[in-house]
A and B are shown apart, each in its own frame.
Chain A
Amino acid sequence: MATKPTVAPSLLFPRDIFAALSPSPFLLAHLSPQTQDTPPIRPNGRTAAEFRKPTINTSSLTHCSGSAVVRLGDTAVVCGVRAEILLASDIPNPPASNPTIRSSNPSNTTTNGDEDDATEVSSLSLLVPNIELATGSAPTHLPGSPPSALAQSLTSRIRSLLLSTCLVRAHSLRITYCPPPVTSDPEIPDAPPEEEVKAYWTLYIDTMFISLDGNAFDAAWAAVVAALRDTRLPKAWWDEDLERILCSDVVGESRNLELNGLPVAATFAVFAPNGGLGIVQDDEEEEKAWVLSDPDAFEEGLCLEAVTVTVDCTGRNSRIRRIEKNGGGLIGRELMKSVARRAEERWKEWSAILEKGNT
């Protein structure tokens, strides 16, 4: 005979069951608390404008030219940079603009030079980023399938950001050779020896997500930047007698990559419980929406609209290098200004951590 329960079964769910059963009201209940004295706080314990604190560990992979592990909460990314040599004689159609002319006048460092740099790097594909999601990194990711739309989309975003920010300058990837002056007739002043580009360094930037808990782009981009800052290329030169490129194995002769500025990405998600369609109930005067910094996987699943702002404050004034916004119409011109300010704040955090190195 079944014993009668002495207490009436409670209608209260444990927290995680509530989150799994009705995620959107769960997030809404956290963001708009019933009482005045409890502050609105996200289920992960952060306020709406709070980012996760990143940690960085560089040079942990020994077989790479440069590497970094970046952790952002439960999102963990490894990035390794491998350098290979691309011989100029192997390039079937060299870029239209002749690099030998430009390398002879080094004063050309204007914006035009930037553009030429980007053209050279992109047309020769000197930077090859790739993103991979490791097996088990996220519950939605199935192993053994071709690269998902997310991985391909991230690869495309990283590549276009690398090119549009000109983060790696083309001249730091060239391996040049200066032929000795012809000394047959010392009377006639020779034309100054022309530098020739004999080869290029090609950087394969492989990024792997060990674990993915939202905000994939920020973590991947930070890992790419940290790995490129860590990259050391060996001294390479053209040997005329052997007619090939030689590399020095002396560590002291290797050099760091010269990077152009320090762009940092900050992602925000917009949570609109009514679907963000602008449908306003009669008794409400305005549709409620929250802009959440650095969303985790749970929040990303509920937010349709996302904004990524990439800023670079290395110069005197901060410059925006990229804005990506899609999926909804709640962030307009006014709100974008405050989002950009939050991205600038985030830049300070990242730059302090990137400058310090290992954390």
Chain B
Amino acid sequence: MAPQALLSHLHRADGSATYSEKGYTIIGSVNGPVEVQRRDELPEEAAIDVNVRPAAGIGSPNERHLETLIQATLRHVILVQNFPRTLIQVTLQVRSLPEEQSTGNGSAILKSSLMLLPHLLNTALLALLSASIPLSTTLTSTVVMILSSGKLLCSPSSADLVRAQSIQSVHVFAFSAQKSLLLAESQGEFDIDEWDEACELAEDICCKETGVAVDEMDVDGKPENLEGFLRDVVREKVEKEQMWKTAP
């Protein structure tokens, strides 16, 4: 199923987005640029504060680690030099997880926080777009799995994971619009050629050149294009904002 996005639905935040894909639903909100505490103030750029809240309970060291990763990635995407001595606050609330993550059974590799990371990154970017924070580029992120049979699975759904017998490694990639690799997190057991293959597949899915108006049907086995999805979302947003001009 293709990802779904809902923009600017929280009225008290500067920008917000809900992103759902493959059983994950995440609400993101962005406030900024706002006043920053003296302690966190940076003289030449905006401070970025990321909060990740899990679906149940309070945050653990795993969420702190995710926050660190998202902060480092967003720092590269947002034009932080434009807003010195301010704060851009990003809050990401996990609303629902697919079954294999929320229930007790399921292998350890699937329960690791890596599976959540691409969805958090995509949500954060949509929320930033909704808040109209100036960005240097956009980013798209996805997860690729290598099975022990050598087969590559891209952004698998729960049904794929039940069918897949054993997973050799999990790779999370994030690409900028210029196709540079912004984030790579891999775990499991693999060699550099396998990693390269996974990276190539992820690049295809994240930022393939598709030319004009992509409205591809999600045919079975044909992965959707995240760059195209992002373009559609932005086009919709702009059309909505320009409605007053075009209205009869």
B-binding residues in A (CB < 8 A)? 93, 96, 111-112, 115, 118-119, 121-123, 149, 152-153, 155-157, 159-161, 163-164, 276-278, 304, 317-333, 336-337, 340
The smallest beta-carbon distance between A321 and chain B, in angstroms, is: 6
8 Å CB contact of B196 from A112, A276, A318, A333: A333
- Tell me if B4 is interfacial: C-beta within 8 Å of chain A: no
The smallest beta-carbon distance between B15 and chain A, in angstroms, is: 23
The answer on a CB contact under 8 Å between B191 and A156 is no
Supply 8 further A-B pairs (C-beta < 8 A) apart from A155-B61, A157-B65, A326-B182.
A321-B188, A325-B185, A326-B184, A326-B185, A327-B72, A329-B178, A331-B181, A336-B196
The answer on a CB contact under 8 Å between B199 and A122 is no
Chain B residues positioned under 8 Å from A326 (CB to CB): 69, 72-73, 182-185
Chain B residues positioned under 8 Å from A152 (CB to CB): 61, 64-65
**Which of B28-36, B104-112, B151-159, B211-219 binds A?**
B104-112
A-binding residues in B (CB < 8 A)? 60-62, 64-65, 67-69, 72-73, 75-76, 104-105, 107-109, 111-114, 136, 148, 166-168, 171, 176, 178, 180-192, 195-196, 199-200
Between-chain CB contacts (< 8 Å), 7 pairs: A153-B65, A156-B62, A157-B65, A160-B62, A326-B185, A327-B75, A327-B76
CA distance A96 to B76 in the complex (A): 43
The answer on a CB contact under 8 Å between B184 and A323 is yes
CA distance A344 to B226 in the complex (A): 34
The smallest beta-carbon distance between B184 and chain A, in angstroms, is: 4
Given the known A-B contacts A319-B191, A321-B188, A322-B187, are A156 and B76 also in contact in the complex, defined by CB atoms under 8 Å? no
Closest to B106 in A: A119
Q: Which secondary structure dominates where chain B touches chain A?
A: mixed
The answer on a CB contact under 8 Å between B182 and A329 is yes
The smallest beta-carbon distance between A119 and chain B, in angstroms, is: 5
Chain B residues positioned under 8 Å from A328 (CB to CB): 76, 182
CA distance A156 to B109 in the complex (A): 14
Given the known A-B contacts A119-B107, A277-B136, are A329 and B75 also in contact in the complex, defined by CB atoms under 8 Å? no
CA distance A332 to B166 in the complex (A): 28
Given the known A-B contacts A277-B76, A304-B75, are A122 and B111 also in contact in the complex, defined by CB atoms under 8 Å? yes
The smallest beta-carbon distance between B44 and chain A, in angstroms, is: 11
Chain A residues positioned under 8 Å from B114 (CB to CB): 160
The answer on a CB contact under 8 Å between B195 and A320 is yes
CA distance A163 to B110 in the complex (A): 12
Closest to B185 in A: A324
The answer on a CB contact under 8 Å between B190 and A319 is yes
CA distance A320 to B107 in the complex (A): 20
The answer on a CB contact under 8 Å between A337 and B191 is no
Chain B residues positioned under 8 Å from A277 (CB to CB): 76, 136
The answer on a CB contact under 8 Å between A337 and B104 is no
What 7 pairs between A and B have smallest CB-CB spacing? Answer: A329-B180, A156-B65, A152-B64, A118-B108, A327-B72, A152-B61, A156-B61
The smallest beta-carbon distance between B166 and chain A, in angstroms, is: 6
- Which of A121, A276, A321 has most B Cβ within 10 Å? A321
Chain B residues positioned under 8 Å from A329 (CB to CB): 76, 176, 178, 180-182
CA distance A327 to B240 in the complex (A): 33
The smallest beta-carbon distance between A225 and chain B, in angstroms, is: 17
The smallest beta-carbon distance between B151 and chain A, in angstroms, is: 15
Closest to B171 in A: A323
The answer on a CB contact under 8 Å between B61 and A318 is no
Chain A residues positioned under 8 Å from B75 (CB to CB): 304, 327
The smallest beta-carbon distance between A306 and chain B, in angstroms, is: 8
Chain B residues positioned under 8 Å from A331 (CB to CB): 181
The answer on a CB contact under 8 Å between B180 and A323 is no
The smallest beta-carbon distance between A23 and chain B, in angstroms, is: 13
The answer on a CB contact under 8 Å between B185 and A115 is no
Given the known A-B contacts A278-B180, A321-B189, A329-B182, are A112 and B166 also in contact in the complex, defined by CB atoms under 8 Å? yes
Closest to A339 in B: B192
Chain B residues positioned under 8 Å from A160 (CB to CB): 62, 112-114, 187
CA distance A233 to B127 in the complex (A): 51
The smallest beta-carbon distance between A120 and chain B, in angstroms, is: 9
Closest to B180 in A: A329
CA distance A233 to B148 in the complex (A): 34
Closest to B67 in A: A149
Chain A residues positioned under 8 Å from B108 (CB to CB): 115, 118-119, 121-123, 163-164
The answer on a CB contact under 8 Å between A332 and B181 is yes
The answer on a CB contact under 8 Å between B187 and A333 is no
The answer on a CB contact under 8 Å between B180 and A164 is no
CA distance A324 to B196 in the complex (A): 14
- Which of B76, B107, B183 has most A Cβ within 10 Å? B76
8 Å CB contact of B109 from A115, A159, A323: A115
Chain A residues positioned under 8 Å from B189 (CB to CB): 319-321
CA distance A176 to B136 in the complex (A): 59
CA distance A161 to B182 in the complex (A): 21
- Which of B67, B72, B199 has most A Cβ within 10 Å? B72
The smallest beta-carbon distance between B230 and chain A, in angstroms, is: 17
